[in-house]
Chain A
């Protein structure tokens, strides 16, 4: 065979190979928009096949789909749920947007109250005699919780109001830095809240169970508007605050851990619910904590001593916790 014939055969072979290769590749090329789909054979087609449903049908199926979790197998073929959109709208338009209204309202009310009524003084003045009220361990557990609470509150609020308030105020770059820092801090201190909550519960649960005398406190509105109200070591307001911290704290801990470790929940709706409950719980705790801080510091004379020094003035004890005073001293509070 001449060299020419050998070359011609080789060229022909190359052309045949090239033709087959081109046809094979053609299977991967997206068909034109007006292409007619072949009838379904019941066999799964290639992953890039167009399918037999229009975009509007697909999106309709998405929106009308059963809003189950996204991680579980989806026999109905639905891959998006409408609850995600509802959750996002509720969170952005209500919780994040109005997060500061309740705490701000509490601050306004307390400021007005303080301006009108002034500091609640010890009626009989300070006696100078101090009575032990809280052990060092109890005080440390309280301040430990307070420290963690403040760190979590500040970082949590920063995350919550970032989009609706901080971006318009500070711009997206600064907000991005702040929220990145706040998120890291929040995630870091979150587990410590669980420890603080447990410690608080152990140290303070005794004495915080509701008793008959607490009803009298409710009827007299805690003596805020005059009149004496008797109470044991903790009054109704303090007990309510304690149980609120514990119960809402449990919810905050559970939802917070779920959000920090999202892989422990398979249902995305639970994560969405966690963000809602976490946000509402945070706003509630922060708002009431402002009242607690007010009463414990500038609102009432002598109350800060109990948590700073561990002891309170005898006249303060007689006035605010007369039954406890009688219990620990064996003396009458009326003397």
Chain B
């Protein structure tokens, strides 16, 4: 078995299982913690607050919009860009079709791939340089924040370097970094990709039950 076969085969299976089970374990664990019973009479709907809390946080509040536009744009650019790259890059669709799903869908043309990759890279770089340039962000960031950012950057970078698809070794390096990323993901702050729903929802539900306008 060659190195490419190994990172695309057994190691990928282990990484994918770790990712799925680890993420489920974390999310179920958070849900099972539950909330302390609130004995005060409700003045509003906690469920509506949960949903509203989630939706409301997608947009900056007016008074903060001018101060936060940079990382709002950077954040959306990176996250949406990464999502589109993962699910609409032609080699990814072929891989998912071949290895996991058994069916595929229409991929992006090359020019769209380059455009989306540029947006995603720009967003990630802006978010990271803000982390090192803003004194408050620098203070509250630890090695895990930087490691997660850099690992994600490496996943994207190695993918783009292998774009020509002319050398197996470049594809193997990309797959290896993906495997590491998948294994690291559930046990790191990268889990915010799933837990943000719970944290926003918790805040929203608390305020919603108290009848506060979010």
Which A residues are closer than 8 A to B by beta carbons?
136-137, 139-140, 143-144, 147-148, 176-177, 180-185, 187-189, 191-192, 195, 307-310
- Nearest Cβ distance between residue B60 and chain A, in whole angstroms? 16
Chain A residues whose CB sits within 8 angstroms of the CB of B176 once the complex forms: none
Residue pairs across A and B with Cβ atoms less than 8 A apart, 22 shown, are A136-B70, A140-B70, A140-B130, A144-B122, A144-B126, A177-B170, A180-B161, A180-B170, A181-B167, A182-B161, A183-B164, A184-B160, A184-B164, A187-B114, A188-B114, A188-B117, A188-B121, A188-B163, A307-B133, A308-B133, A309-B135, A310-B135
Cβ proximity bits B127-159 to A, threshold 8 Å, 1 near / 0 not: 001101111000000000000000000000100
A111 vs B114: C-alpha distance when bound (angstroms): 39
Q: How many chain B residues touch the partner (CB < 8 A)?
A: 24
Q: A147: which of B129, B135, B164, B167 is its contact (CB, 8 Å)? A: B129
- Nearest Cβ distance between residue B6 and chain A, in whole angstroms? 18
* CB atoms of A185 and B161 under 8 A apart: yes
Tell yes or no: B169 within 8 A of A by CB: yes
Query: 9 tightest A-B contacts by CB?
Result: A143-B129, A181-B161, A139-B133, A184-B163, A177-B167, A147-B125, A188-B160, A180-B164, A140-B129
* CB atoms of A137 and B70 under 8 A apart: yes
- Nearest Cβ distance between residue A134 and chain B, in whole angstroms? 9
A184 vs B167: C-alpha distance when bound (angstroms): 12
Chain B residues touching A, majority SS:
helix
Chain B residues whose CB sits within 8 angstroms of the CB of A144 once the complex forms: 122, 125-126, 129
Given A183-B164, A184-B164, A188-B121, do A140 and B133 touch, yes or no (CB 8 Å)? yes
* CB atoms of A143 and B133 under 8 A apart: yes
* CB atoms of B122 and A195 under 8 A apart: yes
* CB atoms of A192 and B122 under 8 A apart: yes
Chain A residues whose CB sits within 8 angstroms of the CB of B198 once the complex forms: none
Chain B residues whose CB sits within 8 angstroms of the CB of A147 once the complex forms: 125, 129
- Nearest Cβ distance between residue A286 and chain B, in whole angstroms? 19
- Nearest Cβ distance between residue A189 and chain B, in whole angstroms? 7
* CB atoms of A140 and B126 under 8 A apart: yes
* CB atoms of A184 and B70 under 8 A apart: no
A302 vs B155: C-alpha distance when bound (angstroms): 35
A142 vs B55: C-alpha distance when bound (angstroms): 33
Tell yes or no: B48 within 8 A of A by CB: no
Chain B residues whose CB sits within 8 angstroms of the CB of A177 once the complex forms: 167, 169-170
Among residues of A, the one whose C-beta sits closest to the C-beta of B160 is A188
**Further contacts, 13 of them, CB under 8 A, given A139-B129, A144-B129, A183-B164:** A140-B70, A140-B133, A143-B132, A144-B125, A144-B126, A147-B125, A147-B129, A176-B167, A180-B164, A182-B161, A185-B160, A308-B132, A310-B133
Candidate in B135, B161, B162, B163 with the most chain A CB atoms within 10 angstroms? B161
- Nearest Cβ distance between residue B25 and chain A, in whole angstroms? 35
* CB atoms of A148 and B161 under 8 A apart: no
